Amino acid sequence: MSVRQSLLAILAQGPCYGYQLRHEFDRRTGSVWPLNVGQIYNTLERLERDGLVARGAADAQGHVYWEITDAGAEDVARWLASPVERGRTTRDELAIKLAVAATLPGADAAEMIAIQRAAAAQHHATLLTVRESREDHTPEGLAWSLVVDSMIFTADAELRWLDHIEAQLATHPRHTLAIELTADRPRRGRPARARAAALV
């Protein structure tokens, strides 16, 4: 999630101060990813350093308003017109955990999958309950539903993926999956590029 780009896009609507930006971000995301004010001000200072926002004077209440620059508006337009790039390699904790566990002698990957499936099913059910609890037709309600629906689809995909890897693991006798430590002593430096390049 790009907090930087999201805050900049909100500022494209008009000047805001820090707490106001947090409130506007929450309105648009249903408070699913709450931001702390320190994070917002750190982001604003980096945006100012990069010439994308300008700091205004404080009002009578001491609120410092931040305003988008022309360069910032161009940056927002590029962001909105660009696809979100998905990584070519995974850093998903669950995928890495199960891949390592499947190759460890004595680790029960099937049990780990069952535990994860139970947690994922509970999470999926909770999201569905939350989604059904609110059905309004305001702009804020629509924005909230977009975020929650994304989370529901992600949870559903995790359950389907767990079914898939369970079926994959079931086709291999457990002893054939274990990888013993190698006697090879790798040299210092970057890992070989061949395997990483295969993922591209």
CA distances from 40 to 17, 45, 133 (A): 10, 9, 30
pLDDT of residue 198: 53
Task: Give the pLDDT of residue 103.
Answer: 80
Three-state DSSP at 181 gives: coil
Question: Which of 64, 65, 63, 81 has the alpha carbon at shortest distance from 73?
Answer: 81
Note the pLDDT of residue 193. Answer: 55
Q: What is the mean pLDDT of each run of 10 residues along the chain (200 residues)?
A: 86 92 85 82 95 92 94 93 75 82 79 92 93 82 88 95 91 68 71 53
Sequence spans of domains, the chain: 3-81, 93-180
Alpha helix (H) residue ranges in the chain: 3-11, 18-29, 37-49, 70-81, 93-102, 109-132, 139-170, 174-177, 193-198
| One-letter amino acid for residue 27 of the chain | R
pLDDT of residue 89: 67
Look at residue 152 in the predicted model and tell me its pLDDT.
95
The answer to whether residues 196 and 140 touch, using CB atoms and an 8 Å cutoff, is no
pTM: 0.69
Q: CATH number of the domain at 3-81, out of 3.10.450.50, 3.40.50.450, 3.30.70.20, 1.10.10.10?
A: 1.10.10.10
